């Protein structure tokens, strides 16, 4: 959580300066954990898929205490505007999910393949919180299915083939999505500045 303090400006008017970020810690789950938070849709409902993977540190070891958040459009491309992204009534698509990694660094969401406008590459926006990170990391997880849309995406087009590969999930034989997130090192995930 970001706090602020008042500092004088050159004109003498007060201004707010954000305090430094805070890394994830042992009490981080308190207040952000809620039932079914990883269920963006009800499991096994029509169109439901699993999006999962592993979060790795710079040495290639899985991170057991990170938190991943995703946002995505519904299958038809609409973005949920309903109040309360925490609502889990087993019927409503919320568009938002949060998952903690397991002891083996694995995260998992029940969600749907996000839709997009014609010619646009569908993706999930993702945020990573982990030990040692004073601030969260923003990234994207693209669907692998439409090669033309991926090739036309402005962000992906600005990256090398190796960098692009860190943002595109793989489709499993069951139709689910697998996407690993690497915080540093070889095959480091591309993170976005905000």
- Cα 176 off chain centre by: 16
pLDDT of residue 23: 55
* Backbone φ/ψ region at 154: left (φ over 0), alpha (ψ -120 to 50), beta: alpha
At 149, phi and psi to the nearest 5? Answer: -65, -40
Tens digit of each residue's pLDDT (9 = 90 or more) over 58-80: 999 999 989 999 999 989 888 87
- Multiple choice CATH, 23-182, 2.30.40.10, 3.40.50.1100, 1.10.3720.10, 2.60.130.10: 2.60.130.10
pLDDT of residue 51: 98
pLDDT of residue 2: 45
3-state secondary structure of 6: strand
CB 167 within 8 A of CB 190: yes
Tens digit of each residue's pLDDT (9 = 90 or more) over 77-91: 888 776 665 667 787
DSSP codes, 83-108 = S-TT---SS---SEEEEE--TTSEEE
Of 62-76, 79-93, 100-114, 117-131, the range with the lowest mean pLDDT is: 79-93
pLDDT of residue 60: 94
Please, which pLDDT band fits residue 8 given cuts at 50, 70 and 90?
low
Average pLDDT over residues 7-28: 59
| Domain residue ranges in the chain | 23-182
**Burial class, 113, CB count within 10 angstroms (exposed 0-12 / middle 13-18 / buried 19+):** buried
Dihedral angle computed from the Cα positions of residues 97, 127, 170 and 77, in that order, rounded to the nearest 10 degrees: 60
Of 7-21, 40-54, 116-130, 136-150, the range with the lowest mean pLDDT is: 7-21
Model pTM? 0.84
- Return d(Cα 42, Cα 154) in angstroms, integer: 33
pLDDT of residue 80: 79
- pLDDT at 173 exceeding the cut of 50: yes
């Amino acid at each position: 959580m970001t706090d602020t303090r008042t500092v004088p400006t050159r004109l003498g008017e007060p201004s707010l300066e954000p305090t430094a970020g805070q890394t994830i810690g042992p009490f981080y789950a308190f207040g952000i954990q809620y039932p079914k938070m990883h269920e963006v849709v009800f499991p096994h409902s029509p169109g439901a898929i699993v999006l999962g993977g592993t979060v790795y540190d710079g040495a290639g070891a899985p991170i057991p205490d990170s938190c991943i958040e995703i946002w995505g459009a519904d299958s038809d491309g609409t973005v949920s505007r309903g109040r309360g992204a925490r609502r889990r009534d087993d019927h409503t698509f919320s568009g938002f999910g949060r998952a903690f990694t397991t002891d083996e660094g694995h995260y998992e969401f029940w969600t749907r393949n996000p839709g997009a406008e014609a010619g646009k590459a569908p993706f999930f926006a993702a945020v990573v919180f982990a030990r040692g990170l004073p601030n969260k990391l923003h990234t994207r997880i693209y669907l692998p299915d439409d090669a033309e849309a991926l090739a036309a995406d402005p962000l992906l087009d600005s990256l090398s083939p190796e960098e692009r590969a860190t943002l595109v999930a793989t489709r499993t034989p069951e139709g689910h999505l697998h996407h690993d997130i690497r915080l540093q090192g070889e095959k480091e995930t591309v993170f976005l500045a905000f």
